[in-house]
Amino acid sequence: MHCELFTSERCRSCQWLAMPYGQQLAEKQRRLAALLPAVPDDGWQPAMGSAPQGMRNKAKMVVSGSVERPLLGIADADGGVDLCACPLYPASFAPVFAVVKQFIPRAGLTPYHVARRRGELKFLLLTESRHDGAMMLRFVLRSEAKLAQLRAALPWLQARLPQLRVISVNLQPVPMAVLEGEREIVLTPDRALEERLNQVPLYIRPKSFFQTNPQVAAGLYATARDWVAALPVTRLWDLFCGVGCFGLHLCRPGMQLTGIEISAEAIASARQSAHQLGLEQVSFQALDSTQFAVQNGEAPDLVLVNPPRRGIGHDLCAWLSATAPRWILYSSCQAATLVRDLGELEDYRVCRVRLFDMFPHTAHYETLVLLERRAATPIAAG
């Protein structure tokens, strides 16, 4: 992938860009294999690669510059670097950024200046559904001071960008680099984008996590579904479930599914999908995953965990070890915490592993690991 921003050294986010893509994938696989020495030879599945560019469905833009000439991209010591031409975004993003740059002065949204602690507009978050091209645009503002002005100017924006199905304001009053605040004000009748991965309807709302590489995410969920299809699972928990992507893929007739996630917005999305799919023995609840597990005594046949980078941690590992579900399916975006957690789950053996390259041109990757309790009679998976 050629990137002018990288070669001119204005952006160094894609630190592995100079390495040919095949070599990047091989290097990630090599690093993962070094971290997971106890995988049987037939347990490794081929790594899943990504399209090298245009693969992201989401842009997180720091707003800098002036109200008349805003920059959308990253902050740096000299003010900011405009990343509207970043080749990781699909071609559909550039025309939206161009119109939004005209909208910012119309609505009087002065870019926030970190050092001076002045201005209102901190970030813009743009997400696209690959299902129908609809988009969600979120303005992260310091306060409500410009909200009325933004609302008044909104018809101008919507007339030019009818693909903006969801528009919202997130209030982030804290003067630090936190991306989002607690309060979200949705300005459109629609509150969610519909996405479809492997024909499963999924809903992306403000403040709900969704993978940023939908092509590779579809491969991740399909792989999990295929692995679990071969196992006699009747009760399944999907912990850290987000909008329900794993559970909704894995659930089959007769299976009881419980999904647990801290974000109420994400749970609203998961319930909407379950309703649309006509799934009956399904419960999605907005709770802390560890607390839910600890308070619910008996483990199901399979517990799926897909935590943030910090991993599942000691308390959940201890609960899993004590209650002994036969299988654990662990999807991790941070191999170091995955390895730490696997070290605590010493009664489990690794059956299968697959690497998913969600983040080309960086050292990051997603890992899916199927574990089986050692005491049980092994069942050949798939």
Rg, the chain, Cα only = 22
306 binds ligand SAM (CB under 6 A): yes
Q: Which two tokens stand for residue 323?
A: 């209650």
Cβ distance to ligand SAM smaller for residue 83 or 328: 328
Which of these ranges, 47-55, 163-171, 204-212, 250-258, lies near ligand SAM under the rule CB under 6 A? 204-212
| Contact string 17-56 vs ligand SAM (x = CB under 6 A) | ----------------------------------------
Q: Is 123 annotated as a binding residue?
A: no
Rounded CA-CA distance 149/168 in Å is: 14
103, 209, 284, 365: which one binds ligand SAM (CB under 6 A) = 209
Q: Is 276 annotated as a binding residue?
A: no
- Could you confirm whether 14 is annotated as catalytic? no
241 binds ligand SAM (CB under 6 A): yes
Q: How many helices (H) and strands (E) would you count in the chain?
A: 10, 16
Q: Is 240 annotated as a binding residue?
A: yes
347 binds ligand SAM (CB under 6 A): no
Alpha helices, H only, the chain: 4-7, 21-35, 93-106, 147-160, 214-229, 245-250, 264-277, 289-295, 313-323, 335-344
195 binds ligand SAM (CB under 6 A): no
| Residues in CB range of 180: below 8 A, 6 or more apart | 125, 140, 170, 172, 207
Q: How far is CA 293 from CA 220, 261, 310, in A?
A: 24, 12, 18
Rounded CA-CA distance 159/136 in Å is: 15
215, 256, 263, 362: which one binds ligand SAM (CB under 6 A) = 263
Beta bridge partners of 202: 195
89, 93, 203, 246: which one binds ligand SAM (CB under 6 A) = 246
Whole-number minimum distance, CB 29 to ligand SAM, in Å? Answer: 21
82, 128, 194, 261: which one binds ligand SAM (CB under 6 A) = 261
Rounded CA-CA distance 52/47 in Å is: 15
Q: Is 170 annotated as a binding residue?
A: no
CB atoms within 10 A of CB 81: 17
Q: Calculate helix-pair angle for 335-344, 313-323, nearest 10 degrees.
A: 40
Rounded CA-CA distance 187/169 in Å is: 7
170, 211, 269, 273: which one binds ligand SAM (CB under 6 A) = 211
Whole-number minimum distance, CB 175 to ligand SAM, in Å? Answer: 24
Binding site for ligand SAM (CB under 6 A): 209-211, 240-242, 245-246, 260-263, 266, 288-289, 306-308, 333
Which residue positions form the known binding site for S-adenosyl-L-methionine?
211, 240, 261, 306
Q: Which residues are catalytic?
A: 333
Which residue positions form the known binding site?
211, 240, 261, 306
